């Protein structure tokens, strides 16, 4: 089992995240594209090797993101139409997500067994997320899931403050 901490930098251009483990060791960096359309995020190892890419599909009616790990499509995350509480659908072989998406407190299961738990820490400077991964083979995929949902939240917040 591994635990990752995603700390979004509050004042950064292009959206940057540093991902550490429980000991504070940097495990990944996440860098969002600044002016590129479609918006994308590159997840890299500390040596700069890209391990995953999260990309927003700009022509979808509701927000949709794709996740590629090692150059292969692993997951699609789609926001679904709902009136009160945000709902999302994940197309990833064998994975199911349950919980509170909007507050980023949810679990990911595979064949009924929990493989990850995501939790947003409250009262921190910048958004901070804790990802407990029981199956370390899914570590990068779970990180990409958090990045995509965080981006949808940011888009929703921007739209509601503009209106």
Beta strands (DSSP E) in the chain are 2-8, 16-21, 26-32, 40-44, 50-56, 64-69, 72-80, 87-91, 95-100, 105-110, 113-121, 128-133
- pLDDT value at residue 13: 47
Residue 6 has pLDDT above 70, yes or no: yes
pLDDT tens profile 96-153:
888 776 667 888 898 889 999 998 876 555 568 899 999 888 999 999 988 887 777 7
Lookup result for tokens 């899931």: 145
Residue 156 pLDDT > 60: yes
- Identify the pLDDT of residue 158: 62
pLDDT, one tens digit per residue, over 62-96 is 778 899 998 899 999 887 777 776 677 788 888 88
| Domain parsing of the chain, residue ranges | 2-93+136-162
> What's the CA gap between 158 and 163, in Å, rounded?
9
Q: What is the pLDDT of residues 11-53, one digit of tens each?
A: 444 577 889 998 999 999 998 876 666 778 999 999 999 999 9
pLDDT of residue 26: 95
């Amino acid at each position: 089992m591994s635990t990752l901490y995603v700390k979004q930098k509050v004042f950064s251009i292009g959206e940057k995240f540093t991902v550490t483990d429980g000991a504070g060791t940097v495990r990944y960096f996440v860098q969002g594209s600044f002016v590129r359309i479609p918006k994308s995020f590159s997840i890299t190892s500390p040596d700069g090797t890209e391990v995953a890419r999260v990309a927003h599909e700009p022509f979808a009616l509701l927000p949709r993101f794709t996740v590629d790990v090692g150059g292969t499509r692993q997951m699609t995350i789609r926001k679904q139409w709902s009136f009160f509480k945000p709902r999302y659908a994940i197309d990833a072989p064998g994975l199911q997500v349950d919980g509170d998406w909007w507050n980023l407190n949810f679990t990911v299961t595979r064949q009924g067994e929990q493989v990850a738990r995501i939790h947003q820490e409250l009262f921190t400077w910048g958004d901070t997320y804790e990802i407990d991964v029981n199956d370390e083979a899914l570590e990068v995929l779970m990180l990409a899931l958090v990045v995509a949902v965080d981006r949808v939240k940011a888009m929703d917040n921007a739209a509601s403050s503009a209106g």
